[in-house]
Amino acid sequence: MACKCVAARPDGCVVRPGRAGYLLGEGREPARGTVRGQHALPDQAYAPARPEAHLLLDVAGTPCALPRSAVAEILPLPDLFRPPACGAWLAGFLDLGGSVLPVVDLAQILGLRAGLSEPGPHAHLVRMAGEAVVYQVERATDLVAVEADSLRAVAPGHSLNGCVAAEIRREGGLVHVLDPARLLSAEERIRVAEAARAARARLAALPGS
């Protein structure tokens, strides 16, 4: 079945100034446009009986998606703080209004890339809602409303490192819907949080901090 979706690229929405770009107008239906700058995504409860918004992503050339309810903000890629002790898939740390957040290369987590690569000019950061972690992607491409019957469940053992919960069928092919809870293991989350605390202390020790 073809995906029943409504084109919803964020900067076509009514916007109001945000601290580092734009915030989406709350309660607005998705509209046409292109993701640029920063966008805070309004809260919306998940309701399987009606269309659910999904943020479409380009992850190392692979079409993926996250439930809109799991995403707090989309940000342009700034210069990241990257101490020598960063792991392979830890792209660095983002200082966002005094909060130091770990930035994870999503492509490596999904097994789509073996090592860190130089981000492209359209790279975005996706800050997750309810957790102190940010994912780096090649691009946030669209925001679409998807009918529940256009989602097909996927067995965890047959997806990108077990991170895909469902697939969306679109005209251009299948889009992998990622389960935010599966992207990092419990141990990885603990280690990422520890690395963020160490980075925060290191930044605080710099002159002028």
Domain that holds residue 141: 5-204
Which residue do the tokens 């067995």 mark?
155
Task: Give the 3-state secondary structure of residue 65.
Answer: strand
Domain-embedded: residue 16: yes
Domain-embedded: residue 80: yes
Please tell me the total count of domains within the chain: 1
Radius of gyration of the chain from its Cα atoms, rounded to whole angstroms: 17
pLDDT tens-place string over residues 119-132: 888 899 999 999 89
Q: Name which residue leads in pLDDT, 46 or 104.
A: 104
Q: Name which residue leads in pLDDT, 134 or 25.
A: 134
Q: Which of these, 50, 35, 89, 45, lies nearest to 67 by C-alpha position?
A: 45
Domain-embedded: residue 171: yes
Q: What is the pLDDT of residue 67?
A: 94
pLDDT tens-place string over residues 21-60: 333 333 333 333 333 344 444 443 333 456 789 999 999 9
**Residues ≥6 apart with Cβ < 8 Å to 94:** 75, 78, 80, 81, 100, 101, 102, 103, 125, 134
If you average pLDDT over residues 181-196, what whole number do you get? 88
The CATH code of the domain that includes 171 is: 2.40.50.180
State which H helix or E strand residue 106 sits in.
helix 106-109
Domain-embedded: residue 209: no
